[in-house]
């Protein structure tokens, strides 16, 4: 039995919750897809393909738009945005939209989610079913976590790593062990509701990109996971 087969067999024993979707946002004008998602402490940023759209999660109203290629994950380090654009990751000043640094993306166009934690970028690779921790200055891979599902968005919150999955019509959010990749907890999305990007607000909610629906969904974080 392979490691992935063992992980799949263990999935049935993992605590699983039905997703509580508390709000939907979008679609946004001129945007047909949602790729990456991040949160800057006040606003949600959604990568829509050709532009990053910032919106107020309290009102749902867009506040800013940055013209920039953004076909996969998005992250925020407290000052700068990071955006996957095909085979590179751009570091962007959100005040001006200027790119201040770029590094090669580890998957060279096969990357999906992006998150910031522990002074590192964490990059999901969809079909490779992996999450790489990379150096934000050089792009060097520091370590790799394996999953047993296609990896979409990635998020860290309260020292926990979560990632989205999307295969066929099934998606969920998974809290995993950052060393072994073992699934510790699952939040199951309704059938047909996919998760592309993923980010926590640092408290009660996850923001989930909805792919070709053009929507962003706020999903409540399981209560005991916040204990």
Could you tell me the pLDDT band of residue 1, with boundaries at 50, 70 and 90?
very low
**Measuring CA to CA, which residue among 59, 116, 32, 58 is closest to residue 46?**
32
Could you tell me the pLDDT band of residue 78, with boundaries at 50, 70 and 90?
very high
Within-domain flag for 6: no
Q: How many CA atoms lie within 13 A of 223 on its CB side?
A: 1
Average pLDDT over residues 191-205: 96
**Measuring CA to CA, which residue among 24, 21, 30, 125 is closest to residue 73?**
125
Structure tokens at 74: 């998005």
Within-domain flag for 4: no
Distances (CA, A) of 13 to 9, 62, 69, 184, 226: 8, 41, 40, 9, 20
Summarize pLDDT for 121-167 with one digit per residue, the tens: 999 999 999 999 999 999 999 999 999 999 999 999 999 999 999 99
Within-domain flag for 216: yes
Structure tokens at 95: 């005040």
**Measuring CA to CA, which residue among 34, 38, 182, 180 is closest to residue 116?**
38
Domain that holds residue 170: 19-226
Percent of the chain beyond pLDDT 90? 88
**Would the pLDDT of 225 be above 80?**
no
Summarize pLDDT for 81-94 with one digit per residue, the tens: 999 999 999 999 99
CATH number reported for the structural domain that contains residue 108 in this entry = 2.120.10.30
Within-domain flag for 99: yes
Q: How many domains does the chain have?
A: 1
Within-domain flag for 11: no
Strand partners, 66: 52
The Cα–Cα gap between 31 and 29 comes to 6
Within-domain flag for 218: yes
Q: What is the pLDDT of residue 195?
A: 97
Summarize pLDDT for 49-75 with one digit per residue, the tens: 999 999 999 999 999 999 999 999 999
Within-domain flag for 1: no
Within-domain flag for 214: yes
Q: What is the pTM of this model?
A: 0.92
Q: What is the pLDDT of residue 45?
A: 98
């Amino acid at each position: 039995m392979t490691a992935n087969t063992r992980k799949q067999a263990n999935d049935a024993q993992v605590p699983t919750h039905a997703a509580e979707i508390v709000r939907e946002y979008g679609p946004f004008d001129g945007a047909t897809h949602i790729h990456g998602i991040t949160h800057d402490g006040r606003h949600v940023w959604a990568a829509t393909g050709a532009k990053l759209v910032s919106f107020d999660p309290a009102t749902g109203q867009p506040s800013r738009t940055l013209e920039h290629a953004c076909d996969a994950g998005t992250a925020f380090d407290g000052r700068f945005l990071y955006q996957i654009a095909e085979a590179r990751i751009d570091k962007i000043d959100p005040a001006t939209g200027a790119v201040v640094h770029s590094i090669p993306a580890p998957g060279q166009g096969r990357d999906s989610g992006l998150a910031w934690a522990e002074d590192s970028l964490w990059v999901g690779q969809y079909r490779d079913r992996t999450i790489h921790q990379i150096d934000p200055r050089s792009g060097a891979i520091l370590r790799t976590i394996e999953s047993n599902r296609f990896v979409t968005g990635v998020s860290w919150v309260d020292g926990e790593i979560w990632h989205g999955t999307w295969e066929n019509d099934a998606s969920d959010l998974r809290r995993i062990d950052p060393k072994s990749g073992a699934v510790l907890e699952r939040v199951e999305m309704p059938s047909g509701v996919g998760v592309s990007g993923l980010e926590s607000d640092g408290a009660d909610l996850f923001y989930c990109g909805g792919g070709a629906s053009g929507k962003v969904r706020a999903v409540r974080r399981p209560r005991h996971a916040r204990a």
